[in-house]
Structure 1
């Protein structure tokens, strides 16, 4: 059995204050993909990643983004988008990064994002699986939906929306390449992370009033449609919970959203079909001993390999 989790920690330092280290030890996952680590390497908490090997791509934007993969054994291979990574074994405390041993040829459109700390992938030693951690841009509304006075941020003419659309188009090309490369190497492929898109009505509690909200726009949902199919990638959590609302993985800190379970499912495990068929259990850890680790919750799947 391989227990694999995806967690947007929304800042590793804040998550540690809320009990991330205790959750990591108690949940006993074999692999953990992290997003929004949001810490320079020299500012990582002591024992930030527990007794795991870590590959951390911090990016070059201070206090933003940052993705990592934690494993029990040192990965066989590490790949990023032309960025340096921290590769560290349990008990080590060095702070230097190094070029990823295998730079990924960038798909058209990704060069503008290569420095942002949004993607890293590793080949596991534990099983013939390539695991990737992704933090996709949150985006914004297209210009015609931006209404001053009804937005928390100032209207930007659709700039953030357009940027997210470009990223999604480029990433879809990259994802096809990585999935096929894994297959050519005899490996299954698993993409995890915060995709900042809810796919269906089951994935947003208040879906009726969210139809013109970023993250649930028709073109964003159609993008998810294009990623998944019985022959390419499978939404593992949905396959195990086909009729459920949720299970949601993100709730606003505001109001009673968490208490009322008025959330969004935007954190995914997308697996190649053969790997997806081995999934036997999928859970969302809404809190750990009564404390929320982040505005996101860990999405944990057991794969019976």
Structure 2
């Protein structure tokens, strides 16, 4: 059995001020998906490092460097990003959805292919979809383009699983 946790942290720095690293040490899920991290990379890296320390202290990993961390931050400061931590072996990482490079606000998508202790391969996707703004046709078009591309990728994951390949888990905040 593995544990997968998904959390809308509503700002990882704010969550840190409220003691999220203590929660990480007490629970240390095998896979932890986070949405709305809202931090630049240079501030996120040390926080993820602290989570690694907590996982090591809890005995989930031998050394904090064994915790795999990946994330996608928004190019617009203060906007939602996603992060994924795992103590399971990672065989592949993917960032973003193909063809959405110009859509800054439409959403975030990261994937990790992990191997369970039983030897099964699963793909875990961590997603954030922005609410959009019905008064802004450009933003709504971006959101719908993200959703359409997301549905295409979800279909690919479903098809792979139905052929006996990796199973998939989708975690996220879907506005």
TM more than 0.5: yes
Conserved in 2, the CA contact under 8 Å of 1:58 and 1:117? no
The answer on 1:63 being equivalent to 2:42 is no
User: Do 2:73 and 2:82's aligned partners in 1 also have CA atoms closer than 8 Å?
Assistant: yes
Displacement after TM superposition at 1:182 (Å) = 5.2
Match of 2:123 in 1: 130
Whether the 8 Å contact between 2:70 and 2:85 is mirrored in structure 1 is: yes
CA gap of 1:159–1:119, structure 2 versus 1, over 3 A, is same
Counterpart-to-counterpart distance in 1, 2:7 and 2:72: 15
Whether 1:186 and 2:152 are equivalent positions in the alignment is: no
Deviation at 1:70, TM superposition (A): 0.6
The structural deviation recorded for 1:158 is: 4.9
| Equivalence for 1:293 | none
CA distance in 1, matches of 2:85, 2:149: 26
Name the structure with the higher helix share. 2
User: What SS does the aligned partner of 1:133 have?
Assistant: strand
**Is the contact made by 1:57 and 1:117 (CA closer than 8 Å) also made in structure 2?**
no
- 2:111 aligns with 121
Residue pair 2:107, 2:146 contacting (<8 A) in 1 also: no
Distance 2:164 2:78 in 1: 36
Gaps of 5+ in 2: 53-66
Equivalent position of 1:48 in the other structure: 48
Deviation of the 1:10 alpha carbon: 1.6
SS across alignment from 1:190: strand
Equivalent residue pairs, number: 157
Residue 168 of structure 1 corresponds to: 147
- Assess, with a 3 A threshold, how the Cα gap between structure 1 residues 186 and 62 changes in structure 2: closer, same or farther: same
- Report the equivalent of 2:64: none
Assess, with a 3 A threshold, how the Cα gap between structure 1 residues 74 and 54 changes in structure 2: closer, same or farther. Answer: farther
**Counterpart in the other structure of 1:112:** 102
**TM-score, length basis structure 2:** 0.76
SS in structure 2 opposite 1:29? coil
Distance in 2 between residues matched to 1:180 and 1:171, nearest whole Å: 14
Within the alignment, does 1:80 sit opposite 2:95 as a pair?
A: yes
Q: Which of the pair has more CA radius of gyration?
A: 1
> Is 2:14 the counterpart of 1:14?
yes
CA distance in 2, matches of 1:133, 1:183: 21
Q: Deviations over 1:42-88 (max 9, x none)?
A: 1227443512321122242222222111101341100123xxxxxxx
Structure 2: distance between partners of 1:114 and 1:125: 31
- Show structure 1 runs of 5+ residues with no match: 82-103, 142-155, 197-305
